[in-house]
Structure 1
Amino acid sequence: MDSTTAFIIVSVMMLANGSVLGLLHRDLPVNLRPAALSWQAGTLLVAFGCIFFAFEWLMPLPLTVTVANAAFLFGLVAYVWAVRRFYGLQPKLVDLVPVFIGSFTVFWFSAIHPNTKVRIIVVALAWIWLMAAAVRVLLAHRDTALSRKMLTSILIAAIGFTMARMLFYIFLPMELDFKITDNSSWMNLATPLFMTVLPVVGATAFVLMCSDQIRRQWERAASTDYLTGLANRRTLTETGAGQFKLAAERSRRLAVAVLDIDAFKAINDTYGHEFGDKALVHVADRLQAGTRKIDLVARSGGEEFVVLLNDLDLSEAEVAAERLRLSVAADPFNFAATTVPITVSVGVAVRQPDDRSFADIMRRADKALYRAKQEGRNRVELAA
């Protein structure tokens, strides 16, 4: 198989792959579609460049190599932007710098001062620049997804091949008009095969990244409260049961604070549900800011919140609950030019030796909360 045939074959593979990505992107969540479209654009641009190389004999050499290499470089930029958009980042115009440098160099050293070796070196450096930019973004987001590691490894391997290819041609004796599409070197055949790595193998890794992201989004949606972003009742129950078991097995302390916004129905009735929703988010933020990293803040429903206070006895839990109560009371809620003071009542309970489950602690904390409401609200009550 000669290099021209190889370019034709890989072009067909890339076009097919790009078409599949076009069909898949419509089924992706809205936040992932821009990234998928960017990856598809990169694949089609690289395929376009390969087609130009495959039929270079139909056009003047300067036109062929300039357009083909520009397509490759723009394709790599599209891959970089796909990775950026995947993580919610905006594309950077600085990524276009190697495109213009590489394209101008190719034109100059093909049309004005023909020199294949210089073209190869400059284009290789531009490829490395762009692929390294994508690697930096991937390494900056160290999630545990295997697909991210796979794509990172593919890009690093591609950088390694590009460097090896550049060094090979640097030390290869060649004429100024040497062509990389003839059969004079095994590297000329290896190059089009290498061109399939990102459009085909890399695309598979990228699709898997999208799949992992969707799975994480579903898991997050199932475990968090849609309004406040706090843990929901399901997560509270599961985490509470786990913490209770651990505390019982290792004789550790565990406290629970149940908080309820005072007169929340009146706030909703007076200012509307949108105002009430914003007030819930405000209280959630205050509670989150006032707890430790080892504590769990959850919205158990309506205007009620629960905080799991790890490794605190009753007096320490009372101090922590009082701090949360004061934090909410000291920061009146302001929305739509309206300021409303908000307070919470708190019931606190700790694990007792005769407790059989996390639900036992919750029941006592709820009773303490009821007493706080009965005693005038905006106060902390301890379970008996």
Structure 2
Amino acid sequence: MDPVTIFIVVMLMMLANGWVLGLMRKDFPAALRPCTETWRTATLLLAGSAVLYAFQYQMPLGLASPLANGLVMLGCTGYLRALRQFYGLPDPRWLFAPALVGFIGILWFAVVAPDTRMRVFILSACCTLLLLASFMLLVSQKAPEGAHSRRVVAGLFAMVAGFMVFRAAYFVGRGVSPSFDITGDGAWINIASPMVTALLPVVGTTAFLLMCSERIGRQWELAASTDYLTGLPNRRTLVTVGERRFAERQQPQGRSLALAVIDIDHFKAINDRHGHELGDVALRHVAEHLRAACRGSDLAARHGGEEFVVLWDGLDAAAALTAGERLRALVAREPLHASGALIPMTISMGVAAAGEGDRSFSDLLRRADEALYIAKAAGRSRVEMAG
């Protein structure tokens, strides 16, 4: 297959990917649409460069190559920008500088002072810089979700960057005549060039879409396991973690397990007097205190309404009672500041430590709930230990 045919095939594949991305754009969440649209634009720019390379003899001499090279550099810039948008990073001031400087340099050495080696060197240097910036951005991400697809995309950027360096060294070292034609049949590298550069818009697009899909899946997972108002784990997550830890406790090397069921005192009065919006603020206020008081293995969750649960890992009954009292005092001494008002906040708490009589996590939770009822009946803003 000759290079012109390869460029045409590559161009059609890029256009197909751009078309698919355009069809899927509305199906992505709003947060992912900017990066997918930027990736699509970059893919179409590279498709445009393939058109120019394939049909350069139908254009004025000295114009097709600089324009095609400029589109390649803009496409690499677009991929870097799409990845930055994916990770919520702003555009750096220098983002378009490599493509702009590169295009001016290539145009100069194509029209004013023709020098094919310099054009090859400038294109390779600019593209390598942008590709390596994308590679470094991907490998710097430590989040576990999307790790496999992220590694694939990073590998593609590294592979294309390495090829650009090799291509530049090959041509500069071997010597390039002023009549060099990237679509000529004379060199094997003319066949390899469009095939390697097509990796990002073709294979890379699939891997990037997989990254987006894994991000969406992770968001759905978080939505299913997290309370939307406070950001704490919800009842479903609490029960899942609680049942697992209760089962682990029964193993030979099992750790102690204790929990507290917590209720905001006079929460209905706060809602009635200040409105439900401030009531939501009060819930978040208490949730932040619970989250801050947790150690690494502890779990604070919203149980429903104004009720929360803290699951302590490795605490016996005495230590759990002390931790509960410390938490109660923390909330009591930090009133809520909202809408110009200073609202005292207190909590009541029932604490239970897993014992021989508990057959399940539900038994432990029930005993703590019964202790909470005793704390509220005894005057609130107190901690009661389950018997």
**What is the letter of the counterpart of residue 372 of structure 1?**
A
Give the secondary structure class of the aligned counterpart of 1:346.
strand
**Correspondence 1:319 to 2:293:** no
Match of 1:233 in 2: 235
Moved >4 Å (runs of 4+): none
Q: Which moved more, 1:344-353 or 1:87-96?
A: 87-96
Match of 1:246 in 2: 248
Write the distance in 2 (CA, Å) between the matches of 1:165 and 1:45: 21
Match of 2:177 in 1: 175
**What is the letter of the counterpart of residue 157 of structure 1?**
M
Write the distance in 2 (CA, Å) between the matches of 1:186 and 1:244: 65
Check the 8 A contact 1:290/1:323 in 2, yes or no.
no
Match of 2:23 in 1: 23
1:147-188 residue CA offsets vs partner (Å, 9 max, x unmatched): 111111111111121122122112112223422222221111
Write the distance in 2 (CA, Å) between the matches of 1:381 and 1:236: 21
Write the distance in 2 (CA, Å) between the matches of 1:336 and 1:181: 69
Match of 1:256 in 2: 259
Match of 1:207 in 2: 209
Identity of aligned residues (%): 45
The Cα shift of 1:264 comes to 0.5
Q: Matches of residues 360-371 of structure 1 in structure 2 within 5 Å?
A: 360-371=363-374
Write the distance in 1 (CA, Å) between the matches of 2:305 and 2:262: 11
Among 334, 338, 342, the residue aligned to 2:341? 338
Q: Which moved more, 1:41-50 or 1:91-100?
A: 91-100
Give the secondary structure class of the aligned counterpart of 1:31.
coil
Write the distance in 2 (CA, Å) between the matches of 1:324 and 1:123: 62
Task: Tell me the TM-score normalised to structure 1 length.
Answer: 0.97
Match of 1:306 in 2: 309
Write the distance in 2 (CA, Å) between the matches of 1:270 and 1:86: 43
Check the 8 A contact 2:7/2:194 in 1, yes or no.
yes
Q: Which moved more, 1:245-254 or 1:307-316?
A: 245-254
**What is the letter of the counterpart of residue 181 of structure 1?**
T
Check the 8 A contact 1:10/1:195 in 2, yes or no.
no
Q: Which moved more, 1:142-151 or 1:30-39?
A: 142-151
Match of 1:222 in 2: 224
**What is the letter of the counterpart of residue 306 of structure 2?**
E
The Cα shift of 1:119 comes to 1.2
Give the secondary structure class of the aligned counterpart of 1:176.
coil
The Cα shift of 1:9 comes to 1.6
1:294-331 residue CA offsets vs partner (Å, 9 max, x unmatched): 10010010001101100011111122112221221222
**What is the letter of the counterpart of residue 231 of structure 2?**
G
1:40-75 residue CA offsets vs partner (Å, 9 max, x unmatched): 001001111111111111223332122111111111
Q: Which moved more, 1:83-92 or 1:237-246?
A: 83-92
The Cα shift of 1:17 comes to 0.9
Q: Matches of residues 31-46 of structure 1 in structure 2 within 5 Å?
A: 31-46=31-46
Check the 8 A contact 2:300/2:310 in 1, yes or no.
yes
Give the secondary structure class of the aligned counterpart of 1:181.
coil
Write the distance in 2 (CA, Å) between the matches of 1:191 and 1:254: 62
The Cα shift of 1:287 comes to 0.8
Check the 8 A contact 1:255/1:308 in 2, yes or no.
yes
Match of 1:196 in 2: 198
Q: Matches of residues 42-57 of structure 1 in structure 2 within 5 Å?
A: 42-57=42-57
Give the secondary structure class of the aligned counterpart of 1:339.
strand
**Correspondence 1:356 to 2:359:** yes
Q: Which moved more, 1:366-375 or 1:198-207?
A: 366-375
Check the 8 A contact 2:53/2:182 in 1, yes or no.
no
Number of aligned pairs?
384
The Cα shift of 1:112 comes to 1.2
The Cα shift of 1:247 comes to 0.9
**What is the letter of the counterpart of residue 360 of structure 2?**
S
Check the 8 A contact 1:116/1:179 in 2, yes or no.
no
Give the secondary structure class of the aligned counterpart of 1:95.
coil
**Correspondence 1:79 to 2:79:** yes
Write the distance in 1 (CA, Å) between the matches of 2:163 and 2:143: 26
Write the distance in 1 (CA, Å) between the matches of 2:166 and 2:256: 60
Match of 1:126 in 2: 126
Write the distance in 1 (CA, Å) between the matches of 2:40 and 2:226: 33
**What is the letter of the counterpart of residue 29 of structure 2?**
P
Write the distance in 2 (CA, Å) between the matches of 1:207 and 1:367: 50
Match of 1:376 in 2: 379
Match of 1:14 in 2: 14
Q: Matches of residues 155-170 of structure 1 in structure 2 within 5 Å?
A: 155-170=157-172
Check the 8 A contact 2:242/2:361 in 1, yes or no.
yes
Write the distance in 1 (CA, Å) between the matches of 2:341 and 2:19: 53
Write the distance in 2 (CA, Å) between the matches of 1:24 and 1:200: 16
Q: Unpaired segments of 5 or more residues in structure 2?
A: none
Pairwise CA RMSD: 1.3
Mark the CA change 1:251 to 1:193 in structure 2 (over 3 Å): closer, same or farther. Answer: closer
Write the distance in 1 (CA, Å) between the matches of 2:7 and 2:92: 30
**What is the letter of the counterpart of residue 72 of structure 1?**
V
Q: Unpaired segments of 5 or more residues in structure 1?
A: none
Give the secondary structure class of the aligned counterpart of 1:51.
helix
Write the distance in 1 (CA, Å) between the matches of 2:133 and 2:198: 19
